[in-house]
């Protein structure tokens, strides 16, 4: 169990109880945040933020059998790398992916394979190693590659992630009015058709776990 408190006194939610707890998010349910160092005993609710073999539901693409479970999709190695000064080498990405797996992350987005040869190799290495490393609870993380809604990107993503036990392709296309009109120069119907056809193409390659993300959908 991890906590920011030196000696927290909390009441765990019984519905999440387990004989082998891992990590919890502790929320002060009765006192204002400014009183967390008070000498009075505070009441807390324990919430799972990752799971043991007993509480983590079986991984089924696009479905979570337990409504209480939160599946963590981590984009540190792809979206996080876009931050100024945060670019990583393939070796650094692999090292971080190992640590994400140790934390119990469900899905690791390794990168954007079509973006560069180095990113392709990084995602491939992560898929080969981290994507085949079964933890002590019998779980292996999903390894995901990002791809725009075009065949070249999707094929590159598949060639990189296919070595993992649980490969995933996350394909995206712009969906806001301004992007469809000025960037894609397509109608809403054309964009929807593109999304459908590219998801079908990803599945035709042998990838059973395909995610579609609408870019700039807000």
Output the DSSP codes for 136-182: TTS---EEEEEEESSHHHHHHHHHHHTTSSSEEEEEEEE-SHHHIII
Share of the chain above pLDDT 70, in %: 75
Instruction: For residues 188-196, give the mean pLDDT.
Output: 96
pLDDT band at 83 (very low <50, low <70, confident <90, very high): confident
Q: Give buried/exposed letters for 187-206 (b at 16+ CB in 10 A, else e).
A: eeeebeebbeebbebbeebe
How big, in percent rounded to 5, are the helix, strand and coil portions of the chain? 35, 20, 45
Inter-helix orientation angle 188-204/151-161, to 10°: 30
φ, ψ of residue 163 to 5 degrees: the values are -80, -15
pLDDT exceeds 60 at position 14? no
**Cα–Cα distance for residue pair 82/146, rounded to 1 Å:** 14
Report pTM: 0.75
């Amino acid at each position: 169990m991890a906590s920011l408190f030196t000696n927290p006194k909390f009441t765990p939610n019984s519905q999440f109880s387990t004989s082998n707890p891992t990590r919890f998010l502790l929320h002060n349910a009765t006192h204002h945040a400014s009183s967390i160092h008070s000498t009075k005993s505070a009441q807390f609710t324990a919430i799972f933020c990752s799971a043991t073999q007993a509480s983590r539901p079986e991984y089924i693409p696009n479905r979570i059998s337990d409504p209480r479970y939160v599946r963590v999709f981590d984009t540190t190695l792809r979206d996080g790398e876009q931050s100024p000064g945060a670019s990583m080498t393939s070796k650094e990405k692999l090292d971080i992916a190992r640590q994400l797996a140790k934390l119990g992350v469900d899905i690791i987005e390794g990168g954007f394979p079509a973006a560069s040869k180095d990113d392709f190799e990084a995602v491939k290495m992560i898929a080969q190693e981290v994507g085949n490393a079964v933890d002590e609870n019998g779980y292996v993380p999903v390894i995901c590659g990002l791809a725009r809604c075009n065949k070249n990107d999707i094929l590159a993503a598949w060639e990189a992630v296919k070595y993992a036990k649980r490969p995933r392709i996350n394909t995206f296309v712009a969906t806001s009015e301004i992007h469809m009109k000025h960037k894609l120069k397509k109608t809403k119907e054309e964009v929807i058709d593109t999304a459908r056809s590219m998801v079908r193409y990803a599945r035709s390659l042998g990838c059973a776990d395909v995610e579609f993300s609408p870019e700039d959908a807000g």
